[in-house]
């Protein structure tokens, strides 16, 4: 179908965009890459009074290193992230996750800020943000605030961002050099949203595991951090039996729903299988 | 009558201008306002890839972009692939290797493959499969398309 009518604004500055959001008092939608919002408009599932298009604000697209973090402007395209040498070096897990986001023509337009603000629980970026303990910067009429990943995702497609706020920056701690990482995902077809995905990071010290980070996509209304499974690895190391135990624990930590794509039981099973695969592959990548 | 906005784009090297509502999709602007019907409308929600064009040199879905967002952009559509009356090596390869039957997905396949070969001039078969998985074809079973893209990769390297 075709989109319903809306007022269209393409402000040249963030200040102007924020003023527009206030003016429409919650009836406007922010248009970033449009790879989720435009289909919703075409289906007429979303009928906002206005669109505030951020694509004419070039200052919202950048990748910088600051204070041990990578800081990515909200309008940084997924395609830019995929080919960024800085991301490849400092956040290889984000780069790997990016290749799972739709297809290249989708990543041409899709943005990191849009993907995270859209908060699809099956999407890869929210899982990576959760695993790596990232945060986002939100700008609103009263200034800026930083929101940690664990405080950002409320439920399906819903974040703690207010209607008059704009997600302007994503901050993710740079991964320790030599860290192992992997994103494992199962989807019906390549490029589809995950039925289940697992993002993993491990920092090795010989056979010991100094740090483990695990988070899921597709196992509930928000990404799930698998802290109790991480603790098994941090306590018992990276032996086959520890990985088995962590994977088993992972499947117990999620409470997925059944839907048309998969049953809750199957998603729980996948969580264990994919956790094991992600950890094994992360082991292969890790140095130290 | 809703407000009409002016959209100026360069399509296949030619400066074009039209006026449309803000809600008009880029693919509909190309087809209805500029008369370039080579770009096809399939699913209208970014899944099938039939509407794929090059937007400032990069493959993108024209059914989930507004025409007004393309104002100032350079676009390449299937009509712009031929040069001097000769088919583009990708088009030549699609013909040679039976990379199309009904032709509905072909414009999207061609532009997607062009972007793939520009970002990765020597793709493996697996990379070709992954690349064209961005576009759905319901006739050829993909086999001819994969062979065509591989052949085009070789042809483009020697040309």
Average pLDDT, chain B: 96
| Range A68-75 average pLDDT | 98
Does B133 contact A189 at a Cβ distance shorter than 8 Å?
yes
Does A105 contact B28 at a Cβ distance shorter than 8 Å?
no
Q: What is the CATH number of the domain that holds A191?
A: 3.30.390.50
A1 in a domain, yes or no? no
B-chain residue closest to A80, CA distance: B58
Determine the topology of domain B89-158 in CATH: DNA polymerase; domain 1 (1.10.150)
- Interface-testing mutation among A9, A40, A103, A193, with chain B (most B C-beta atoms within 10 A): A103
Q: What is the CATH number of the domain that holds A18?
A: 3.30.43.10
Q: Which residues of A touch B112 (CB under 8 A)?
A: 104-105
A153 in a domain, yes or no? yes
Same domain, A250 and A280: yes
DSSP string, chain B: -PPPEEEEEEETTEEEEEEE-TT-BHHHIIIIIS--TTSPP-SSSSSS-TTEEEETTEEEEGGGSBGGGGTT-EEE-GGGS-BTTB--HHHHHHHHTT--SS-SSHHHHHHHHHHHHHH-SS--HHHHHHHHTTS--SSSTTHHHHHHHHHHHHHHHH-
Is the Cβ–Cβ distance between B50 and B138 less than 8 Å? Answer: no
Distance from CA of A44 to the nearest CA of B (A): 11
pLDDT at B1: 59
Does A2 contact B130 at a Cβ distance shorter than 8 Å?
no
- A122: exposed, middle or buried (Cβ count in 10 Å: 0-12, 13-18, 19+): buried
- Class in CATH terms, B5-80: alpha beta
Q: Looking at the 3D structure of chain A, how many domains does it have? A: 3
pTM more than 0.95 = yes
- Confidence at B2, pLDDT banded by 50, 70, 90: confident
pLDDT at A192: 84
Same domain, A47 and A68: no
Is the Cβ–Cβ distance between A18 and A139 less than 8 Å? Answer: yes
pLDDT > 70 fraction of chain A, expressed in percent and rounded? 100
Closest by Cβ to A105, choosing from B2, B24, B49: B49
What is the three-class DSSP state of A163?
Answer: coil
Q: Which of residues 95-114 of B touch A (CB under 8 A)?
A: 112
pLDDT, tens digit, for every residue of A223-269? 999 999 999 999 999 999 999 999 999 999 999 999 999 999 999 99
Q: Within an 8 Å CB–CB cutoff, is residue B6 touching chain A?
A: no
Same domain, A24 and A92: no
Is the pLDDT assigned to residue B158 strictly greater than 90? no
Is the Cβ–Cβ distance between B134 and A105 less than 8 Å? Answer: yes
A74 in a domain, yes or no? yes
A261 in a domain, yes or no? yes
Same domain, A195 and A280: yes
pLDDT at B72: 98
Q: Which residues of A touch B52 (CB under 8 A)?
A: 105
Does B22 contact A6 at a Cβ distance shorter than 8 Å?
yes
Does B55 contact A109 at a Cβ distance shorter than 8 Å?
yes
Q: Give the residue numbers spanning the domain of A42.
A: 7-53
Higher pLDDT, B141 or A39: A39
- Dihedral sign for Cα atoms in the order A104, B11, B114, B100: positive
Domain chopping of chain B, boundaries: 5-80, 89-158
**Residues of A near B (CB-CB distance < 8 A)?**
1-8, 10, 34-35, 38-39, 41-43, 51, 53, 55, 79, 83, 102-106, 108-109, 189-191
**CA dist A242 → A105, A208, A231, A239 (Å):** 40, 11, 10, 5
pLDDT, tens digit, for every residue of B74-129? 999 999 999 999 999 999 999 999 999 999 999 999 999 999 999 999 999 999 99
């Amino acid at each position: 179908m075709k989109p319903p009518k809306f007022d269209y604004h393409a402000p040249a500055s963030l200040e102007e965009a924020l003023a527009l959001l206030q003016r429409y008092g919650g009836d406007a939608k922010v248009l970033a890459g449009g790879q989720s919002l435009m289909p919703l408009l075409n289906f007429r599932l979303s009928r906002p009074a206005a669109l505030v298009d951020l694509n004419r604000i070039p200052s919202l697209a950048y990748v910088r290193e600051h204070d041990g973090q990578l800081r990515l402007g909200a309008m940084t395209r997924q395609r830019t992230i995929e080919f960024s040498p800085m991301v490849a070096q400092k956040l290889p897990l984000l780069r790997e996750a990016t290749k799972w986001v739709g297809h290249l023509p989708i990543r041409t337009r899709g943005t990191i800020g849009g993907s995270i603000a859209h908060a699809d629980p099956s999407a890869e970026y929210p899982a990576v943000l959760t695993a790596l303990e990232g945060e986002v910067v939100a700008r609103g009429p009263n200034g800026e605030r930083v929101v940690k990943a664990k405080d950002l995702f409320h439920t399906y497609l819903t974040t703690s961002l207010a209607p008059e706020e704009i997600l302007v920056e994503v901050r993710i701690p740079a991964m320790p050099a030599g860290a192992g990482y992997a994103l494992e995902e199962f989807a019906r077809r390549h490029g589809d949203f995950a039925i289940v995905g697992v993002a993993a990071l491990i920092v090795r010290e010989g056979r010991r595991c100094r740090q483990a980070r695990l988070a899921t996509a597709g196992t509930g209304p928000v990404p799930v951090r698998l802290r109790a499974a991480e603790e098994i690895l941090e306590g018992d190391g990276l032996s086959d039996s520890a990985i088995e135990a962590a994977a088993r624990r992972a499947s117990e930590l999620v409470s997925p729903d059944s839907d048309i794509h998969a049953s809750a039981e199957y998603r729980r099973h996948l969580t264990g299988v994919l956790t094991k695969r992600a950890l094994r592959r992360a082991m292969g990548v890790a140095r130290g | 009558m809703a407000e009409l906005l002016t959209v100026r784009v360069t399509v296949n090297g030619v400066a074009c201008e039209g006026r449309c509502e803000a809600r008009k999709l880029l693919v509909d602007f190309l087809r209805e306002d500029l008369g370039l019907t080579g770009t096809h409308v399939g699913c209208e929600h970014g899944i099938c890839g039939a509407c794929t064009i090059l937007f400032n040199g990069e493959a993108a879905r024209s059914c989930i972009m507004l025409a007004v967002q393309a104002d100032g952009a350079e676009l390449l559509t299937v009509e712009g692939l031929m040069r001097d009356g000769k088919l583009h090596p990708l088009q030549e390869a699609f013909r040679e290797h039976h990379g199309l039957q009904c032709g509905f997905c072909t414009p999207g396949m061609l532009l997607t493959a062009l972007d793939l070969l520009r970002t990765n001039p020597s793709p493996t078969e697996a990379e070709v499969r992954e690349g064209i998985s961005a576009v759905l074809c319901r006739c050829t079973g993909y086999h001819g398309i994969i062979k065509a893209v591989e052949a085009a990769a070789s042809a483009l390297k020697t040309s």
